[in-house]
Structure 1
Amino acid sequence: MKLKSLLLGAVAASAMAPAAMAERGADGQVNIIYWQAPSIMNPYLSGGTKDIEAASLVIEPLGRYDPTGALVPYLAEEIPTVENGGVAADLTSITWKIKEGMKWSDGSALTAADVVFTAEYCMSPEGGCAQRAKFDGVTSVEALDDLTVKVTFGQPTPNPYGPFMGGQSPIIQKAQFENCVGAAASSCTDQNFYPIGTGPFVVTDFRPNDVISLEANQNYRDPAKPAFATVNFKGGGDATASGRAVLETGEYDYAWNLQLAPDVLAQMAAAGKGEPIAAFGTLVERIEMNLTNPSPDLPEGERSTVAAPHPFLSEEPVRRALSMAIDRELLVEVGYGQAGRATCNLVPAPALYASDNTDCLTQDIEGAKALLEGAGWTDTDGDGIRDKDGVKLSLLYQTSTNAVRQDFQALIKQWWSEIGVETELRNIDASVFFGGDPGSPDTFQKFYADVEMYANNFDGTDPQSYLSMYRCGNEPKPSSQWQGENINRFCSEEYDALLDELARTGELEKRGEIAKKLNDILTKETMTIVPLVDRGRVSARAMTLGGVQLNTWDSELWNAADWYRIKE
């Protein structure tokens, strides 16, 4: 089986439809496996995709993005627009109407007060909301009546679909979380593990970094859904074991994010128990440069904060040389084959927003050496490691534990050694690395390393909220419980001004131009982010699992309420 044919379409899905709609729970249990185990069921306290997607089975937004990237209503009656009166003519507000009769899983009514509370929860400065960029530019969120919510922006905002759209910005219940605002957010264990939701399933048992047990929500709005009575959501292990569990043994029905070499995936699929499903979206494997000092010699509270600039990655020539030394085409060949494309962009799609930046695609070892020489980094003691003013180019490079990522680390370490940079490699269990635990030293947000590698993407097709992650002040820090999306602690007045311009620009081509400039500042001008591979999303479904539609623009589990068992 070739991945190329799977990647040609935007959506790879089971085309089969159930012969007749079964009653709720009639299809028994569905088994899902994520090799990156969820550690929390609250996406506002984790930037990890695994946590956001697991939570999407339980808590929902007002609207979602379908597999084509189109906006579709979920808890709302319709998507507000200027044409239907939901978006103000001056573009300074958006008004959402909640569908009548929406209930939480405990039987109580979903109201506008819950939506308002969700905004207050995420916008609290002491809470460290991992999705704060979704509310960039919001000045107020108010309930006009029990089912109507108005979001007001500080300036005309042509793209007002940040708050409450997509799996990254769901509604949480005020009654459950009202004592969890601000600094108390991370300590509300029961709420964060067992959220009351409006989605198709309810958590019955949550074991962090291990197994989640769920059952059908008896108050779900469609009495015929979900078809499955229970969900066994297994986390942990590795991508190889996850792939085998669906494609070879049939033990599981759905496996997420099969970050495997193409030949390995094809061999598994030959067993016939399941099939890979794949599509390109905006998922970019990249290296983030830490602009702050992660040294353990610094006191806690200063380490990896803006109070302590990095001793050598603060220099743009060093960052640029590290990028120049990388052979991205070889990384694609080794790690992804036809399921990957070498890229220099943080935002690789849609085409409107994708920069024509191709400078990084040609490896240049000699040019990287010359750049470091010109910046004063030489090998003064003959040990093969460049140094300047008593500081050696010696760095710690971390990522999550995964065979493809460890292959990347080994190759990049070799290339960096060729230009006189010493590299120590560290890999961390993905459940911990992406977990967001403020007490852990090993999270990608805390960034106790010099460089780190991972991938994520954004909801929908507009990158405004995604690019807003890198706004000044949005970095993880002790006062935000180490939450925040500005992972490398980047800050630029020019960048922030362009974000503000993007937020008030309505004309699509102009929005594209601004987004490209923002992308280029991060990836071309400052080399703060070093993109490597535009990754196709590859997951797998059992041949007996119907209704699956792979969605690269939202949670992969976005339509789990529609999944069913195919009867032979």
Structure 2
Amino acid sequence: MKIKALLLGAIASTALAPMAMAERGSDGNVSIIYWQAPSILNPFLSGGTKDVESSSLVLEPLGRYDETGALVPFLATEIPTLENGGVSEDLTTITWNLKPGLLWSDGTPVTSADVVFTADYCMHPEGGCAQGAKFEGVSKVEAIDDLTVKVTFSEPKPNPYGPFMGAQSPIIQAAQFADCLGAKAPECTDANFNPIGTGPFVVDEFKPNDVITMSANPNFRDPAKPAFATLTFKGGGDATAAGRAVMETGEFDYAWNLQLAPEVISKMAAAGKGTPVSAFGTLVERIEINLTDPSPSLPEGERATAKHPHPFLSDLAVRKALSMAIDRELLVEIGYGQAGRPTCNMVPAPALYASDNTDCLVQDIAGANQMLEDAGWVKGADGIRAKDGVRLSLLYQTSTNAVRQDFQALIKQWWSEIGVETELRNISGSVFFGGDPGSPDTFQKFYADVEMYANNFDGTDPENYLAERTCEKAPRPESQWQGENINRFCDPAYDALVAELGRTGALEKRGEIARQLNDMLTKDSYSILPLVDRGRVSAHSNTLGGVILNVWDSEIWNAADWYRLEGS
């Protein structure tokens, strides 16, 4: 098996390139705007990118992925490998060594006990963890000494870089979260809003769904960083206003996720205050099909759960017809231009893991109509198809964004042409991606028939990402509606194949399994309808130095290295 290629080949560097900057806090304030406002600063309680990335300024993992996808150490001295002895020869353990002298922002030492606690927190049997797939196959996490942590897997794990790697799996302080285990986790408001961390900044004030004010961490491990004394993280508004605030007015230094038409971004950049930056990674805009019944007529606690299959989306013919009716080329043209590519895959990259599935790329309205007709779905006098008294009438929700609303309008029209009635709904991104277990409007709770959004995964290996779709990871009341299996897909054969991927070391074989898993979700079951392989587009001020766009981890992964350019 090519195990060493997997464990060593992706590790292109072990240290970040130094940035030229002055002493800590010498460059004043830096301002960031995310038009989807953060609602929590604990990535274990939210799968929303805006929550994971804002948290990354405060909470850090043992290792990250750099802008090339290579593994680099952060709180660890090095990335454990077979070659350096950090990964055992039988592939059942990985041992991490913390850098000596690390301090939490409150001045207390960071120890292996914090790492062990983090695992206990996410793996607690009575709680829900948005990043549970990161701990797939973990049987034990133990402290060998104050600076050494050993993770043991239930069987050989050729890719052991799930726990504590990337922005989705940072270390939290045991002392702060000690009373927040299991079902109590969402109740710990102070800890979830004001985490004590090791990152370059500390939280001064957090106003959920609005603004976060931060200041330089006085105990950050590099005494020269961060260059900025304070940081303002503004949330809300829309992508257009965010882009203008950086590239036209210069009010902000960094704007995230400019989900705008290409000509709009070009016009903004022409103002000369800021620069758009972009890169392709694994971000796919898609439609999730709810395989369970979200009807409000069901008792609370049973809606959108496995107890009740969906009345018509359980029919493969309906799901496939919905996909066939969509013109993905046109969606790319109106929404993203060169910053998008039509795709049929949930995992579009790296090439090793990308399926050659292209079945969805050609729109086929006639074929979709025939498929529904053959399946017994007959058009009524109102043009809407029905079968056994069940009408093809669905609620289609997404977050509020101009491009997404354009997509909704087009897709509603195409679906009407095949006899499907569609009600459109859009929800503030701050709420939709917020993960609040008490809200009916989160993408995890999925109180709709279909919903559209995009996300991606840390690093270049999709194992943990694909493991999110196993049966037990469906959000449900018992998990406080946390979980990554958003559409409630459940297939024992899929779960078995995920387990096989977890113990497979040969790269070609891993690629084959990953492609098969991708196809089970898309080409075979049509439980996910991929639309666009999106390039990440953001913008930074022309006076902000040190920015390195990273599509493999938190986009603001290296904020500690940002600085104000001289003369600006």
Alignment of 1:275 with 2:275, yes or no, is yes
CA distance, structure 2, for counterparts of residue 502 and residue 348 of structure 1: 18
Q: Structure 2: which 5+ runs fail to align?
A: 1-16
Q: Which residue of 1 aligns with 2:8?
A: none
Contact 2:59–2:199 (8 Å) recurs in 1: yes
Q: Which residue of 1 aligns with 2:511?
A: 512
CA distance, structure 2, for counterparts of residue 322 and residue 90 of structure 1: 46
Q: Which residue of 1 aligns with 2:523?
A: 524
How far 1:226 sits from its partner (Å)?
0.1
Alignment of 1:23 with 2:35, yes or no, is no
How far 1:464 sits from its partner (Å)?
0.2
Q: Which residue of 2 aligns with 1:83?
A: 83
Contact 2:21–2:563 (8 Å) recurs in 1: no
Q: Which residue of 1 aligns with 2:6?
A: none
Q: Which residue of 1 aligns with 2:4?
A: none
| AA in 1 matched with 2:491 | S
Distance 1:515 1:92, change over 3 A: same
How far 1:552 sits from its partner (Å)?
0.2
Alignment of 1:490 with 2:493, yes or no, is no
CA distance, structure 2, for counterparts of residue 459 and residue 531 of structure 1: 19
| AA in 1 matched with 2:144 | L
- Once the two structures are superposed, residues 428-449 of structure 1 have per-residue CA deviations (whole angstroms, 9 ceiling, x without a partner) of 0000000000000000000000
CA distance, structure 2, for counterparts of residue 173 and residue 296 of structure 1: 40
1:359 counterpart SS class: coil
How far 1:567 sits from its partner (Å)?
1.2
Alignment of 1:253 with 2:256, yes or no, is no
How far 1:21 sits from its partner (Å)?
3.1
RMSD, aligned CA: 0.8
- Once the two structures are superposed, residues 216-275 of structure 1 have per-residue CA deviations (whole angstroms, 9 ceiling, x without a partner) of 000000000000000010000000000000000000000000000000000000000000
CA distance, structure 1, for counterparts of residue 258 and residue 447 of structure 2: 27
CA distance, structure 2, for counterparts of residue 126 and residue 212 of structure 1: 31
Contact 1:116–1:142 (8 Å) recurs in 2: yes
How far 1:127 sits from its partner (Å)?
1.7
Matched positions, count: 551
CA distance, structure 1, for counterparts of residue 378 and residue 82 of structure 2: 60
Q: Which residue of 2 aligns with 1:546?
A: 545
Q: Which residue of 2 aligns with 1:58?
A: 58
Instruction: Name the % identity.
Output: 76
2:468 counterpart SS class: helix
Correspondences of 1:307-326 after superposition (within 5 Å): 307-326=307-326
Q: Which residue of 1 aligns with 2:376?
A: 376
CA distance, structure 1, for counterparts of residue 172 and residue 127 of structure 2: 15
Correspondences of 1:467-482 after superposition (within 5 Å): 467-482=466-481
Between 419-428 and 491-500, the greater mean CA deviation after superposition: 491-500
Q: Which residue of 1 aligns with 2:9?
A: none
CA distance, structure 1, for counterparts of residue 84 and residue 321 of structure 2: 52
| AA in 1 matched with 2:424 | L
CA distance, structure 2, for counterparts of residue 17 and residue 437 of structure 1: 39
1:408 counterpart SS class: helix
Contact 1:176–1:191 (8 Å) recurs in 2: yes
Contact 1:17–1:546 (8 Å) recurs in 2: no
How far 1:125 sits from its partner (Å)?
2.4
- Once the two structures are superposed, residues 396-432 of structure 1 have per-residue CA deviations (whole angstroms, 9 ceiling, x without a partner) of 0000000000000000000000000000000000000
CA distance, structure 2, for counterparts of residue 64 and residue 33 of structure 1: 23
- Once the two structures are superposed, residues 432-474 of structure 1 have per-residue CA deviations (whole angstroms, 9 ceiling, x without a partner) of 0000000000000000000000000000000000000000110
| AA in 1 matched with 2:492 | E
How far 1:297 sits from its partner (Å)?
0.4
Contact 1:253–1:545 (8 Å) recurs in 2: yes
Alignment of 1:418 with 2:417, yes or no, is yes
2:472 counterpart SS class: coil
CA distance, structure 1, for counterparts of residue 125 and residue 349 of structure 2: 32
CA distance, structure 2, for counterparts of residue 476 and residue 522 of structure 1: 17
- Once the two structures are superposed, residues 102-161 of structure 1 have per-residue CA deviations (whole angstroms, 9 ceiling, x without a partner) of 110000000000000000000012221000000011000000110110111111110000
| AA in 1 matched with 2:544 | L
- Once the two structures are superposed, residues 276-317 of structure 1 have per-residue CA deviations (whole angstroms, 9 ceiling, x without a partner) of 000000000000000000000000011000001000001111
2:378 counterpart SS class: coil
1:141 counterpart SS class: strand
Correspondences of 1:8-407 after superposition (within 5 Å): 21-379=21-379, 381-407=380-406
Correspondences of 1:437-476 after superposition (within 5 Å): 437-476=436-475
How far 1:17 sits from its partner (Å)?
8.7
| AA in 1 matched with 2:81 | T
| AA in 2 matched with 1:540 | A
CA distance, structure 1, for counterparts of residue 78 and residue 148 of structure 2: 12
2:212 counterpart SS class: strand
Contact 2:345–2:518 (8 Å) recurs in 1: yes
Q: Which residue of 2 aligns with 1:12?
A: none
Q: Structure 1: which 5+ runs fail to align?
A: 1-15
Contact 1:17–1:547 (8 Å) recurs in 2: no
How far 1:185 sits from its partner (Å)?
0.2
CA distance, structure 1, for counterparts of residue 126 and residue 473 of structure 2: 12
Q: Which residue of 1 aligns with 2:408?
A: 409
Contact 1:134–1:465 (8 Å) recurs in 2: yes
How far 1:391 sits from its partner (Å)?
0.4
- Once the two structures are superposed, residues 500-540 of structure 1 have per-residue CA deviations (whole angstroms, 9 ceiling, x without a partner) of 11000001011000000000000000000000000000000
Contact 2:32–2:233 (8 Å) recurs in 1: yes
CA distance, structure 1, for counterparts of residue 212 and residue 258 of structure 2: 20
| AA in 2 matched with 1:39 | S
Contact 1:199–1:220 (8 Å) recurs in 2: yes
1:406 counterpart SS class: helix
CA distance, structure 2, for counterparts of residue 494 and residue 482 of structure 1: 24
| AA in 2 matched with 1:403 | A
CA distance, structure 2, for counterparts of residue 313 and residue 120 of structure 1: 37
CA distance, structure 2, for counterparts of residue 57 and residue 32 of structure 1: 11
How far 1:385 sits from its partner (Å)?
0.3
2:30 counterpart SS class: strand
2:370 counterpart SS class: helix
CA distance, structure 1, for counterparts of residue 196 and residue 492 of structure 2: 40
| AA in 2 matched with 1:543 | N
Contact 1:228–1:564 (8 Å) recurs in 2: yes
1:90 counterpart SS class: coil
TM value normalised by structure 1 = 0.96
Contact 1:470–1:486 (8 Å) recurs in 2: yes
- Once the two structures are superposed, residues 178-198 of structure 1 have per-residue CA deviations (whole angstroms, 9 ceiling, x without a partner) of 100000000000000000000
1:169 counterpart SS class: coil
